């Protein structure tokens, strides 16, 4: 079993480190790119998405000027263990609305209602919620009350209502992360490790996958909303 806790301030290091480990472990599932572990670019996205989540967690102290909240599922047998987390962004100017940024549950803790419990706890506070997911996850979120609104790149935009909020949503600008010295260093290391041709092929593979998922999301939404 598990206990759900909502945090409005930057989590302690013990929780932060476990969340960051989950991001690294499940970056394929939670990133918009859906990068596969077999792709040589995988470590780069582990760092990039991890750094973004870290910035959101740090922003919970109010330093970024927009609200960030976090729900964690703690193991009842060992409350120091984080079984899952849900990071979401309350909308400014709409007290009922929020947007899911990232969610993950440990692989060995799935199918125990943790994700559903975290989402329900979020909806109890913010009933007008939005998220984006890959096509395969749409039926899962529909069981939680979300409905398809449209396509957003390679993902499907879903909402608990038939419209988006008109409030303002503060988000982290990810461009500086992927232009950072750290990312350039990681890329240089991967280039040395795999070679220029393999890295070029990896980028083409990522782009082909993104194009395929984008078409899939668009067709899915067109058929669903027809």
> Tell me: the pLDDT tens digits for 54-96?
999 999 999 999 999 999 999 999 999 999 999 999 999 999 9
In the chain, what's the furthest Cα-to-Cα distance?
51
For residue 8, the model assigns a pLDDT of: 85
- Please name each of the domains of the chain with its CATH number: 2-225 (3.40.630.30)
| Overall average pLDDT of the 85-114 stretch | 96
User: Are the C-beta atoms of residues 19 and 12 closer than 8 Å to each other?
Assistant: no
pTM beyond cutoff 0.85: yes
Strand partners, 131: 158
Q: In angstroms, rounded to a whole number, what is the distance separating the alpha carbons of residues 158 and 135?
A: 11
pLDDT at site 59? 96
- The tens digit of pLDDT for each residue in 158-176 reads 999 999 999 999 999 999 9
Neighbours of 9 (CB within 10 A): 11
State the pLDDT at residue 226: 85
Helix (H, G, I), strand (E, B) or coil at 121: helix
């Amino acid at each position: 079993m598990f206990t759900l806790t909502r945090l409005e301030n930057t989590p302690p290091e013990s929780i932060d480190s476990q969340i960051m480990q989950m991001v690294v472990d499940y970056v394929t599932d939670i990133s918009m790119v859906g990068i596969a572990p077999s792709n040589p670019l995988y470590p780069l996205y582990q760092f990039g998405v991890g750094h973004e989540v870290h910035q959101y967690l740090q922003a919970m102290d109010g330093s970024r000027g927009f609200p960030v909240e976090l729900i964690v599922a703690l193991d009842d047998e060992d409350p120091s263990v984080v079984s899952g987390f849900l990071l979401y962004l309350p909308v400014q100017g709409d007290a009922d609305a929020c947007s899911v940024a990232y969610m993950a549950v440990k692989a060995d803790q799935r199918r125990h209602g943790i994700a559903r419990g975290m989402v329900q706890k979020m909806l109890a506070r913010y009933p007008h919620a939005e998220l984006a997911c890959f096509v395969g996850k749409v039926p899962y979120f529909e069981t939680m009350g979300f409905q398809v609104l449209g396509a957003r790149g390679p993902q499907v935009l879903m909402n608990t209502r038939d419209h988006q909020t008109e409030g303002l949503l503060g988000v982290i600008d990810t461009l500086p992360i992927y232009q950072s010295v750290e990312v350039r260093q990681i890329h240089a290391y991967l280039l040395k490790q795999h070679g220029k041709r393999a890295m070029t092929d990896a980028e083409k593979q990522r782009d082909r996958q993104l194009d395929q998922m984008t078409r899939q999301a668009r067709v899915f939404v067109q058929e669903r909303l027809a």
